[in-house]
Structure 1
Amino acid sequence: MNLLISKWGNSLAVRIPAEYLRHVGLSEGDQVEASLTVDGGITLRAAKWDRRAFAEEIAHKRDAMPMTEPVIDELRRGAR
């Protein structure tokens, strides 16, 4: 199926037929992952939220943060 690229605000958009969306189980507001293929194509896939992967990512980022003195302690010292 050929689809038309249209202007949407300052961006460009492609309308996906409702039949396609129903077939893959997507609806308005769902997120998709876009990737480029080696032959110059664009692939869209439903972006499934993985709770475990999200928790691991947050834990990794938290562990990478430097531990410093609590801000409240700095404020208390400055108030004295």
Structure 2
Amino acid sequence: MNLQVAKWGNSLALRIPADYVRHIGIHEGDQVQVNLTADGGINIRAAKWDRTTFALELEKTRDSMPMTESVMEELRRGARY
């Protein structure tokens, strides 16, 4: 099937035919996972939420944040009561 690329704001968009949408079970607002293939193609699949992957991403994000003084303590020091 050939699809036409359309402009959507500053991005480009593809409309997915309703038959395909029903077949893969996605709905408006769902997230999809997109990968580039070695030959320059695009692979699009429904993104299923995975608790383990989410926990690993959360841990990685938390580890990348420096441990600093509490924001509330900083605000209290500067506050004028």
Instruction: Tell me the TM-score normalized by structure 1.
Output: 0.75
Query: 1:74: Cα distance to partner?
Result: 4.0
Query: 1:60: Cα distance to partner?
Result: 3.4
Among the aligned pairs, what percent are the same residue?
A: 67
Give the secondary-structure state (helix, strand or coil) at the position aligned to 1:6: strand
1:1-80 equivalences in 2 (<5 Å): 1-77=1-77
Q: How many residues are matched?
A: 80
Structure number with greater Rg is 1
Moved more, 64-73 or 34-43: 64-73
Query: 1:11: Cα distance to partner?
Result: 2.0
Instruction: Tell me the TM-score normalized by structure 2.
Output: 0.74
Q: 1:5 to 1:51 in 2, by over 3 A?
A: same
* Unaligned 5+ runs, structure 2: none
Q: 1:43 to 1:68 in 2, by over 3 A?
A: same
* Unaligned 5+ runs, structure 1: none
Give the secondary-structure state (helix, strand or coil) at the position aligned to 2:69: coil
Query: 1:21: Cα distance to partner?
Result: 0.6
Query: 1:52: Cα distance to partner?
Result: 2.9
Give the secondary-structure state (helix, strand or coil) at the position aligned to 1:38: coil
Matched residue type, 2:37? T
